[in-house]
């Protein structure tokens, strides 16, 4: 007891002596460069903290779609009033845009502009994203320039299932280029230009000191990979770390590891880390203390999130600044004593942790580092029931966009131009049925000219056919968008609203995807498996699992109906050593049954049989990737 008391007194002194350094003290690496190149007329996409999570996902997907077309997309660093006009509106006026709004530049490539305008109109109409045309010259626009993120997720020993949550969130938010790297893959792939990675994510939670020591030992065994990660960031790429991934960026400053930090610690940050930041695990709130950090763009001032034994970051200085601090601990902090106020040491630690940094960012060489002491990615993990709308998905999205961005820059947006320069009309039915083949046509003013066109159907499908035929799988209204480019480089866009109705009653749901999960497990140990159904024409369905033991879990989800594209989970254990095939099928409200999914082959072995964690993770990685193919 005396040793614990002495330890906490030392920690208390250190905590009381700390202070925050904000980004205004770090202008040495944060001052924008002046761009001599004038950008052409562009579009503005507002970003604010009132957007629900569904809208955050749609905006992120839109930005990723634009970046994949090599569109020049910028992130505004300042609030600004801009003369502009909302899409499909006649009135031009002054509109206010918060920092974090996106500016999409029109290029000198007319075919690229055709794609850009087509994408913007489709998202505006089908996903209700507000988009504005700038109607003034934007002089001295202070921005970051976004790149298409090409993401490597560290999935070797020292990481945990948390990379699942990052993977699901990022894939659902339109980030298409995401790949897992084991320890042995990092030297081969991370800095290999043919893979083109520009962001590395390291996420894990640490449960107990043995787990922590085990992870440190893995770092020591893989010092070559640690060096590759350092080189990767130093050369100008990004790093996002959560919990243990955050500890690795700063723990080397803590004696006695300081002497060894160059070998097996990433040591990106100039600060100290203390673990655990809070007693126990569970929910708490973070307060944004620096709204200039791009990770905070569009976020509310107070954010509810999850904590699992991670660090706080103390005395940030030089290259490091805090943008989020511990604000408060929610009452349902899972592992607290029932009456924590009567536990002096835990209560003292909790009290002293308030207002201490838990979200920090830094520059390391030419690269950008974002470190979280908690798990913001865990807020989007629907198969574990964590889809609380108060948790902004934008935290992880912003961290990836920021760490892969360039700048800041100051640019001029001049020579704005008009679009919709000729008459264009979409022809087709205003109603249709699910799976019906529907033909669309057009009327173009001056159609004798050579022209290029692109159709977008509102379901993220497109066509360049003159008279496309399309089948819709989901019952809802769609805006069919047609954009046409003429030889004289004029572009016009038109749309038609088609209401798709009437689900067929006798068509079964799609065959579920192969169940996702590790294919090496321990006897009697509980594991989680996930799946989804891409389309169920009656929209709602429940699941039946075949565990390979001659047992069908028909009633496992019968009390909960799932929707198309919703993630579904099974938590299960096998008590006998052997090999099992886990399959799943979907049954809709009308009793229509899908085919059984392809089986996941599971090998059940003894507990603690010394299986390499890299082997276990590889099994998870394989099937998690199939989830989005």
Instruction: Give CA–CA dist 122/106, Å, rounded.
Output: 17
Peptide bond before residue 276 is cis, with ω within 30 degrees of 0: yes
Strands 367-372 and 438-439: unpaired
Structure tokens at 179: 């790949």
What confidence score (pLDDT) does residue 270 get? 81
Domains 2-26+149-403 and 424-501 share a fold: no
The pairing of strands 451-456 and 462-463 is antiparallel
- The residues spanned by each domain of the chain are 2-26+149-403, 32-146+410-414, 424-501, 520-626
Its pTM stands at 0.83
Q: Which residue in the block uniquely carries the two structure tokens 């009656």?
A: 538
What φ, ψ does residue 141 adopt, rounded to 5°? -85, 115
User: Rounded to an integer, what distance in angstroms lies between the CA atom of residue 406 and that of residue 402?
Assistant: 8
**Nearest 10 degrees: CA dihedral of 162, 167, 172, 175?**
140
Which CATH code is given to the segment(s) 424-501?
2.60.40.10
CB burial string 473-489: b at 16+ within 10 A, e below: beeeebbbbbbbbbeee
pLDDT of res. 44: 92
Match 């019952």 to its residue by tokens.
Answer: 475
Residue 326: closest CA among 293, 295, 282: 282
Residue 220 has, within 13 A of its CA and on its CB side, a CA count of 8
| Tokens, residue 507 | 């068509």
* φ and ψ of 21, to 5 deg: -115, 120
Q: What is the pLDDT of residues 90-124, one digit of tens each?
A: 788 999 999 999 999 988 888 899 999 999 999 99
Report the candidate in 67, 118, 126, 125 with the shortest Cα–Cα distance to residue 484: 118
Question: Which token pair is 401?
Answer: 């966009």
| Residue range 2-26+149-403 in CATH 1.10.1040.10 | no
CATH superfamily of 520-626: Immunoglobulins (2.60.40.10)
Contact 473, 509 (CB under 8 A): no
- Report the pLDDT value the prediction gives residue 229, as an integer from 0 to 100: 94
Q: Which residues of the chain have pLDDT under 70?
A: 1-40, 49, 156-162, 205-216, 251-263, 280, 330-344, 379-391, 414-418, 420, 447, 503-505, 528, 535-539, 551-567, 569, 607-629
* pLDDT for position 498: 95
Alpha carbon distances (Å) from 600 to 44, 527, 533, 586, 603:
46, 13, 16, 16, 10
Task: State the pLDDT at residue 74.
Answer: 94
Q: Which residue has the tokens 């999130």?
A: 305
Cα dist from 464 to 71, 448, 456, whole Å = 19, 18, 9
Strand partners, 451: 486
């Amino acid at each position: 007891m005396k040793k614990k008391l002495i330890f906490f007194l030392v920690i208390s002194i250190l905590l009381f002596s700390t202070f925050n350094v904000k980004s205004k003290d770090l202008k040495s690496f944060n001052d924008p460069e002046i761009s001599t190149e004038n950008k052409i007329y562009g579009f503005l996409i507002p970003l604010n903290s009132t957007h629900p999570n569904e809208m955050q996902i749609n905006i992120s997907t839109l930005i990723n779609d634009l970046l994949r077309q090599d569109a020049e997309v910028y992130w505004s660093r300042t609030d600004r009033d801009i003369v502009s006009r909302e899409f499909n509106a006649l009135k031009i006026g002054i509109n206010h845009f918060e920092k974090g709004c996106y500016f999409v530049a029109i290029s000198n490539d007319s075919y690229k502009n055709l794609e850009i305008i087509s994408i913007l109109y489709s998202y505006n109409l089908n996903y209700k994203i507000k988009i504005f045309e700038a109607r003034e010259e934007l002089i001295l626009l202070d921005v970051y320039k976004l790149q298409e993120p090409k993401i490597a997720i560290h999935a070797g020993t020292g990481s945990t299932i948390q990379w699942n949550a990052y993977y699901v969130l990022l894939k659902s938010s339109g980030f298409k280029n995401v790949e897992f790297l084991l320890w042995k893959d990092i030297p081969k792939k991370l800095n290999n230009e043919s893979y083109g990675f520009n962001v590395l994510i390291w996420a894990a939670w640490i449960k107990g000191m043995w787990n922590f020591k085990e992870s440190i030992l893995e770092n020591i065994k893989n010092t070559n990979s640690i060096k590759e990660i350092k080189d990767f960031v130093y050369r100008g790429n990004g790093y996002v770390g959560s919990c243990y991934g955050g500890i690795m960026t700063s723990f080397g400053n803590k004696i006695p590891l300081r002497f060894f930090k160059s070998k097996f610690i990433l040591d990106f940050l100039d600060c100290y880390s203390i673990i655990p930041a809070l007693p126990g695990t569970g929910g708490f709130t973070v307060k944004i203390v620096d709204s200039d950090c791009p990770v905070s763009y569009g976020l509310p001032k107070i954010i509810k999130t999850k904590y699992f034994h991670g660090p706080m970051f103390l005395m940030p200085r030089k290259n490091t600044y805090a943008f989020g601090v511990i604000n408060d601990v929610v009452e349902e902090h899972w592992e607290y004593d029932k009456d924590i106020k009567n536990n002096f040491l835990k209560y003292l630690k909790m009290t002293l942790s308030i207002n201490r940094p838990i979200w920090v960012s830094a520059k390391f060489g030419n690269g950008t580092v974002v470190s979280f002491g908690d798990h913001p990615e865990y807020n989007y993990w629907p198969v574990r029931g964590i889809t609380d709308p108060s948790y902004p998905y934008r935290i992880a999205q912003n961290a990836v966009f920021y760490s892969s961005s360039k700048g800041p820059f100051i640019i001029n947006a001049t020579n704005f131009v008009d679009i919709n320069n000729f008459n264009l009309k979409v022809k087709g039915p205003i109603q249709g049925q699910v799976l019906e083949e529907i033909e669309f046509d057009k009327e173009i003013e001056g159609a004798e000219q050579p022209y290029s066109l692109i159709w977008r159907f509102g379901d993220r499908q497109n066509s360049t056919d003159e008279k496309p035929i399309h089948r819709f799988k989901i019952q809802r209204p769609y805006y069919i968008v047609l954009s046409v480019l003429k030889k004289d480089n004029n572009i016009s866009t038109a749309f038609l609203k088609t209401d798709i109705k009437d689900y067929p009653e006798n068509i079964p749901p799609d065959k579920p995807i192969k169940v996702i999960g590790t294919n090496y497990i321990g006897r009697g140990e509980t594991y989680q498996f996930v799946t989804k159904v891409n389309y169920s024409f009656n929209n709602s369905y429940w699941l039946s699992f075949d565990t390979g033991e001659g047992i069908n879990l028909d009633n496992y989800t019968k009390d909960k109906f799932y929707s198309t594209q919703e993630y579904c989970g099974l938590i299960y254990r096998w008590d006998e050593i052997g090999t099992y095939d886990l399959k799943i099928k979907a049954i809709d409200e009308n009793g229509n049954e899908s085919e059984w999914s392809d089986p996941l082959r599971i090998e059940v072995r003894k507990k603690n049989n010394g299986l390499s964690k890299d082997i276990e993770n590889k099994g998870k990685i394989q099937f998690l990737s199939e989830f989005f193919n």
